[in-house]
Structure 1
Amino acid sequence: MPLPFLTADRAFDGETEDVVLPFHDRQRWRRPYRPGPPRVGLAALVLLLASFVLAAAVIIAATTSVTGAWIWFGVALLMIAGALRGLRIGVWVSSAGLRHVTFFATRTTAWAQVGTLRLVQQPVRWMGLPRTVQGQALVLEARSGRGASSRADGPVVLLSTHDADFLGRPASFDRASDTVEAWADEYRTAAAGR
């Protein structure tokens, strides 16, 4: 079974490192990097726990209360939905713009609204937790305070060296940030020419 989210940066393997925008169908939203091992491992663990909850729901339905079984079936569905949403967290690009997906929200910014994308050294959240450490971050500043931030109080951190996708993988962070910047450069220029 093909898993396209695992092959997102296949163009960077081997001899094709000079390929910046390797995708032929640029209308489709795609993440320009692979999800990190902590993110995939946590999702796998939650899905494993959901399978046990589903088995428990079947046993409860066969032995006692159907109502209780439906409750546990709902809990398992919430766990599955949470694991799948956790795998979608990150930055997605297409010819339409840049999409920043978090667990509870998705913000899309058209390329014409992307002000600047830059790498900065700053305190970043470690694995999305409140604890911060010094690291690098790819920061988006939308034009006129609109777009990805939907607030005028400052830039939005899209990627960092200490999030669940790049923890312990600095080369992957560099490739991902370069790729997002390359998409922005190409499509901002095209949007400005219109």
Structure 2
Amino acid sequence: MPLPFLTADHAYEAAEDVPLPFDDRDRWRRPYRPGPCRVGSAAVLLLLASYVLFAAVIIAFTGTLTEAGVVFGIALLVVAVALRMLRMGVWVSAAGLRRVGFLGTRTVAWNLVVAVRTVQQPVRWLGLPRTVQGQALSLVRQGRAPEDEQPLLTTHSADFLARPEAFDRAADTIEAWAAENRHG
């Protein structure tokens, strides 16, 4: 079963001279692959969910259906958390830029974007309160100060930790989308 949210469109890797080689610009796409930390965490959660589902089957045969239903519900919750973790990130289309978080999604139309740029600043390490020096892709919107915005991508996030070239490629691609769609 294909999981389109797990893979990124990598036509831009093959066509180095064209920054946006996509034919269907209206489709939302993530211009990078999820990092090994994110994929590994989701895999561990799915493994845990398989054990919980197996426990639900055993409980269904030996216990009550109510207890089995509760355990089955817990397994479905763990699967939903794992899939949401894989879906998190920055997505782009001709309509705008979408930041998918764990609990919410925010979309910004390209006409509200003033600039998208890479800056050197302290960034959170894997989303934890600890900060380290790194790079961040920041979004500047009309009517908002740049300090009010959280970075879109950082070099120390779950997608780009120990993968600086992947961060650079993703940041360049998002900046190209912004440049083309703000003025085009």
| TM bracket, shorter-chain basis | over 0.9
Q: Specify the SS of the correspondent of 1:179.
A: helix
Partner deviation per Cα, 1:150-171 (whole Å, 9 max, x = no partner)? x996122000000011011100
Q: Distance in 1 between matches of 2:112 and 2:9?
A: 26
Tell me which amino acid in the other structure corresponds to 2:34.
Answer: P
TM-score, structure 1 as length reference: 0.89
Q: Specify the SS of the correspondent of 2:70.
A: helix
Tell me which amino acid in the other structure corresponds to 1:26.
Answer: R
**Which residue number corresponds to residue 92 of structure 1?**
91
Is 2:140–2:146's contact at 8 Å kept on the other side of the alignment? no
Query: Is 1:187 matched with 2:174?
Result: no
Q: Counterparts of 1:31-110 in structure 2 under 5 Å?
A: 31-110=30-109
Partner deviation per Cα, 1:52-84 (whole Å, 9 max, x = no partner)? 101101100110121111111111111001000
Unaligned 5+ residue runs, structure 2? none
Q: Distance in 1 between matches of 2:9 and 2:132?
A: 27
CA RMSD across the alignment = 1.7
Q: Distance in 1 between matches of 2:58 and 2:96?
A: 47
Is 1:119–1:136's contact at 8 Å kept on the other side of the alignment? yes
Tell me which amino acid in the other structure corresponds to 1:74.
Answer: G
Tell me which amino acid in the other structure corresponds to 1:86.
Answer: M
Q: Work out the number of aligned pairs and report it.
A: 184
Q: Specify the SS of the correspondent of 2:18.
A: coil
Unaligned 5+ residue runs, structure 1? 146-150
**Which residue number corresponds to residue 115 of structure 1?**
114
Q: Specify the SS of the correspondent of 1:24.
A: coil
Tell me which amino acid in the other structure corresponds to 2:181.
Answer: Y
**Which residue number corresponds to residue 21 of structure 2?**
22
- Per the alignment, do residues 129 and 178 of structure 1 end up closer, same or farther by CA in structure 2, a change over 3 Å counting? same
Q: Shift of the alpha carbon at 1:7? A: 4.5
Q: Distance in 2 between matches of 1:33 and 1:152?
A: 24
* Percent identity of equivalent pairs: 65
